[in-house]
C-alpha cells in the first residue's frame, strides 16, 4: 500500500459536488497494490498519523497529526502504482483490482477514523478535482513494503 502524504493549509475534493474539505492537516493519496491487506493498512495508518511533520514552537518537525489533532482528506489513487520503466504509457498491473482495492481502501479509511482524527474522503473510482494549498511544501511517500526492509542507520 502506498500513501502519498501532503501537509496542507486547506484542501478539498469535488466531483459533481464537494465530497470532502479540510483545513490544516494532511491530504493522503492512497493506492492499494496487489496482495495488500489489513497488515499493510494498519502499517500505513500508524505511520501516517504518527509522522512528526508539523512544526513545534521552534519551527522544527516535531509534532504528529495525532498530537496536533489535524484533519485528514483521503483520496484513492491507483496511479501511485504506475510502472513507467517500459514504453511511454504507464502500466498499472501492480495496482489491486478495483473490487479488492475498494474493500481495502474502505477498511483503511475506517482505521484512520478509529484514531479519532476528523476524516474526509473522495469517492472511490470517481474522476475528481482536488484543490490543495500545500504547506511547506511537505510531501512524503509511505509504502507498506518498507515495513519489511531494515532501516538504514
CA 19 to chain centre: 16
Phi then psi dihedrals of residue 44, to 5 deg: -65, -45
Q: Which of 140, 114, 134, 109 is closest to 124 using CA atoms?
A: 109
User: Is residue 121 annotated as a catalytic residue, yes or no?
Assistant: no
Phi then psi dihedrals of residue 7, to 5 deg: -80, 130
Do 63 and 56 touch, CB atoms closer than 8 A? yes
Q: Of 6, 71, 77, 108, which is the active-site residue?
A: 77
User: Is residue 78 annotated as a catalytic residue, yes or no?
Assistant: yes
User: Is residue 77 annotated as a catalytic residue, yes or no?
Assistant: yes
Q: Of 29, 54, 78, 112, which is the active-site residue?
A: 78
User: Which residues are the active-site residues?
Assistant: 77-79
Amino acid at each position: 500500500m502506498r500513501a502519498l502524504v501532503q501537509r496542507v493549509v486547506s484542501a478539498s475534493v469535488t466531483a459533481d459536488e464537494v465530497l470532502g474539505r479540510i483545513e490544516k492537516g494532511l491530504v493522503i493519496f492512497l493506492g492499494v497494490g496487489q496482495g495488500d491487506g489489513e497488515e499493510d493498512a494498519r502499517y500505513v495508518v500508524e505511520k501516517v498519523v504518527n509522522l512528526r511533520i508539523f512544526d513545534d514552537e521552534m519551527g522544527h518537525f516535531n509534532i504528529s497529526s495525532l498530537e496536533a489533532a489535524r484533519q485528514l482528506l483521503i483520496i484513492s489513487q491507483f496511479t501511485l502504482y504506475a510502472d513507467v520503466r517500459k514504453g511511454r504509457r504507464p502500466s498499472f498491473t501492480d495496482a489491486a483490482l478495483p473490487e479488492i482495492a475498494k474493500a481495502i481502501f474502505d477498511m483503511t479509511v475506517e482505521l484512520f477514523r478509529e484514531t479519532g482524527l476528523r476524516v474526509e474522503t473522495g469517492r472511490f473510482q470517481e474522476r475528481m478535482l482536488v484543490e490543495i494549498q500545500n504547506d511547506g511544501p511537505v510531501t512524503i511517500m509511505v509504502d507498506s513494503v518498507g515495513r519489511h526492509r531494515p532501516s538504514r542507520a
